[in-house]
Structure 1
């Protein structure tokens, strides 16, 4: 083989490698934009449903697409396309309205036109109390973040969706609120950890439908203690096997 042939072969090999890399990046971008996006839980606001250190997939097509479906939220268009609204009780990733560069995850409590209020720790929707049943206590700091037993209450929304909430502090600051009237095209979000959640009761406010990113779907990895998934040597002691591949409800 001549020197020229060797150089041509080498050049072709490099070109093919770059082509494969570009195709892989484009495929990953398409999957992330239109199908699934990985998301890690950054805070304890959704305990006990979701814990810090949970890694989950978010389905992007669930509510259609907006500019926030794309990386860096380019202003390609306004509103949503191919969209359908979330259902009450869905666990949703959305862009924080005051600063859309930040992702939040909460549960949809109020739909457009709903009247939402907390009274003595009980949720009211359209002036009707949401059934709330004490189901026990959790005494596990990995779940509650506190070194004491915490009361757990099951709520059941009008559409039948049930989930557990934590009551860290009886008569907490978010247990009694004014009545919120959800505007058209917006949603009212709350965390399941009711006394430790910055949500629509506070500075999150009403969430525009354009800010919805997707619906939380399944936990694919979970590790405690603030460890990184890349710290493989910590998996034997800190990984939470019982949470792997659990659906988010």
Structure 2
């Protein structure tokens, strides 16, 4: 079955809790721990620690109701704005932000960060720091030229976009079109961090099979350079886990900066 016939994340929505349970939980049978949790966490930490990716505003534009990408970011940015494409993911995220009963458990992520940083004594501060920095959760629309319309956001110093381009792009043109819209949210010289899957066509959440846009390293590099980005970091991790929930071949982490206007 062609992946273009699968459900689309931003059109049909998804089971936000099922998404987290399948790809981000601390359950023993969650086989994606190294890829969806440790790989982005370690690379985000390394990128931020270099010292040149920091500032006032960070925008997170990622699939699902992910929190784990923001633990390091809150140490380097004063304000975090989260963009989401569907209401269920917004409700799931706000349940955690507001510490409501039934919120998804992210304690294992705080533990992972503490282990990576060697700061196990700061475990309790991790989630509090993210909540304090997270200023707004905004629903956006990829059909709009300004995806946050009617809200005009101040230009961001950095944008983290994890798996959005993969899950929403039907083809090469879609990918570049959305990348261009994301780029417009960045200030000149601002940084873009992309996390995605290579050579993937689908992922499964519960009973739903959803589309992933299939692309390779060559295309990703060409798309970024074509939109005026200078690539600073490029990491690829080949898949080692075995699961029928998705068919990606590798994970990619890219850090780039937007060239300043002359």
TM score, norm. by length of structure 2:
0.24
TM score, norm. by length of structure 1:
0.25
Structure showing greater Rg = 1
